[in-house]
Amino acid sequence: MKKVFYGFAIILCTTMLTACSTSSDSTSKNDTKNSATSSQSVAKTDAQTVLDFMYKGNISGFSDVSSDSASSVKSYLLDHLEKKQIDAMLANGNIDTYKLVVDGSDYSAQEIVSDYAEAYYKQIASISDATVKSVSLSGDSAKITATLTPIAALSEANPIGSARTELLGGIDNDTIVRESGNKDVKTIQKLITLKLYGLYYGQMGKTAAKADKPVDITFTLKKEGSHFIADKDTMLQLAKESRAQVYADGDSDSDDNSDIAESSNNGNV
């Protein structure tokens, strides 16, 4: 009788241990699945926050997705925009020798380039339709695929020439070049281009035309603490993604704005 009891007890314990083990494995798998789902959701939310900052100018929640402040990231991007223009001038001489004289008013090269950079950056925030399409997790990295309608870079400069009269009172380039007092005609003409861009898209508040089709872009966020973070290089990449080398629907290169187009398209961050 005792042998039967002991045998039954052993079978019962074995069954219970097996059940407990199965239950533990099931719980562990569920916890892993829930954790992955949670990380996926956090990554998607953080990625949208990054997109909203770059393409809408929305700083809400930005401190969660960057180790740098919103103002620091903006300054970093503006510095890149300015540096490309200033370096080109430094290759030809001292930047302090370049200025525009328009209707009796002096504008330094540094002032013109800064206004241009601000206007260019402002256009990035005009895109507004960037949304997360998918998220792929790998370790502490999240690969994000997003969709947006970029600025049509080849059309960005076209309306500037038609606004010359309103902006500069009809003063022709030769007059501005002559009054600038600098013999580097090419650089002075480029300053005119940048001045027109800054006035048109900055002071006048115009919005650049968009491409006729949305595009997909990809970028990577890194897990830090409870959030996925975008570093400054990622933000710089997203700034570059704001332009596509296409014309807006129905537009062409028929306008004679070759100098303006060159600065606008090649002056990207």
pLDDT band at 139; cut points 50, 70, 90: very high
How many alpha carbons fall within 13 Å on the CB side of residue 168?
25
Asked if residue 83 is part of any domain, the answer here is yes
Asked if residue 145 is part of any domain, the answer here is yes
Asked if residue 10 is part of any domain, the answer here is no
Asked if residue 20 is part of any domain, the answer here is no
Cβ neighbors of 217 (< 8 A, separation 6 or more) are 145, 146, 147, 148, 238, 241
Is the predicted pLDDT of residue 102 greater than 90, yes or no? no
Give the pLDDT confidence score for residue 26 in this predicted structure.
53
Average pLDDT over residues 156-175: 80
Cβ neighbors of 208 (< 8 A, separation 6 or more) are 123, 126, 151, 152, 155, 156, 201
Q: Which residues pair with 202 in a beta bridge?
A: none
Average pLDDT over residues 215-230: 98
CA 180 to chain centre: 35
Asked if residue 122 is part of any domain, the answer here is yes
Is the predicted pLDDT of residue 156 greater than 60, yes or no? yes
pLDDT band at 253; cut points 50, 70, 90: low
Number of domains in the chain: 1
CA distances from 182 to 179, 186, 221, 262 (A): 8, 10, 47, 21
Asked if residue 200 is part of any domain, the answer here is yes
Asked if residue 3 is part of any domain, the answer here is no
Q: Would you give the DSSP letter of residue 216?
A: E
pLDDT band at 22; cut points 50, 70, 90: low
pLDDT band at 90; cut points 50, 70, 90: confident
In tens, the pLDDT along 174-198 reads 888 888 888 788 888 899 999 999 9
Asked if residue 16 is part of any domain, the answer here is no
Give the pLDDT confidence score for residue 182 in this predicted structure.
80
The answer to whether residues 215 and 244 touch, using CB atoms and an 8 Å cutoff, is yes
Q: How many C-beta neighbours within 10 Å does residue 156 have? A: 25
Q: Which range of residues forms the domain containing residue 61?
A: 46-266
pLDDT band at 35; cut points 50, 70, 90: low
Buried b (16+ CB within 10 A) or exposed e, 14-52: eeeeeeeeeeeeeeeeeeeeeeeeebeebbbbbbbbbbb
The answer to whether residues 130 and 108 touch, using CB atoms and an 8 Å cutoff, is no
